A = this chain, B = another copy of it.
Amino acid sequence: MKYLRQSNICFFFVPKLTTWLNQQDNTMDKTTEEKIYEAARRIFIIKGMEGARMQEIADEAGMNKALLHYYFRSKENLFKAVFKDTFTKFFIKVKDTLFSDISAKEKLVVFIDHYIDLIEANPYVPQFIINEINRDPEVLKSLMFESGVEPRKILELFLNEVQSTNLSKLDPRHIVISLLGMLIFPFVARPLLQMVYFNDDQEAYNKFLSERKEIVKNMILKFIEA
């Protein structure tokens, strides 16, 4: 049943059962469906839901446009699969660090390391996620529900830990959100910042970004040493 994934309950990318059983597909070749998905991901991340064209995705995948509908039923379904998968990858990283067993201070340092690596590997994704959630905040609610992640638990865990270790007198959300801003903003606003502050020099901006890991760590640790 090719439209199983269009259930209103669950939007996620699942390779076909026959693909899974057929070990040959776990080699160099990807299925048609996977190719479509990955082409869609590349186009949607850059152009967003409304800017992307189904024909362009089909061209990127190297196949007929009707196949997109055959496998995913609609543009919206395809987009939701891409968004959910992408968001989950980013959010899981955050959540795993937060729920790990190390100290809050170590968590921040580890988080910065992992997060910058993640953004460097996917520089357009933060804006893609922010734009989509701003376009339709309900999508975030349904994602939280589906992933079983409760924002309140994240918040409580974080507040309790920071409070118990007395790291700082500040509301820790100021620290976290400042941290996120310092990490994400230079990637999201790159064309503007590169031109205004780096003479549109791509190499110089890359160097600037690579320096940020240590600098942001130092800044954050300075914040919390109250």
Contact = CB atoms under 8 A, between A and B. Distances in A.
A195 to B, nearest CB: 6
A212 interface: yes
Looking at chain A's contact residues, the main secondary structure is helix
A39 to B, nearest CB: 20
Interface of A: 50-51, 127, 129-131, 133-135, 137, 140-141, 144, 151-152, 154-155, 170-171, 173-174, 176-178, 180-186, 188-193, 195-200, 208, 211-212, 215-216, 219, 222-223
Nearest to A219: B223
Copies in the complex: 2
Contacts of A181: 178, 181-186
B155 A191 contact: no
A185 B176 CA distance: 12
A197 B155 contact: yes
Nearest to A127: B134
Nearest to A192: B133
B216 A178 contact: yes
Most B CB contacts (10 A, CB to CB) among A151, A196, A211 go to A196
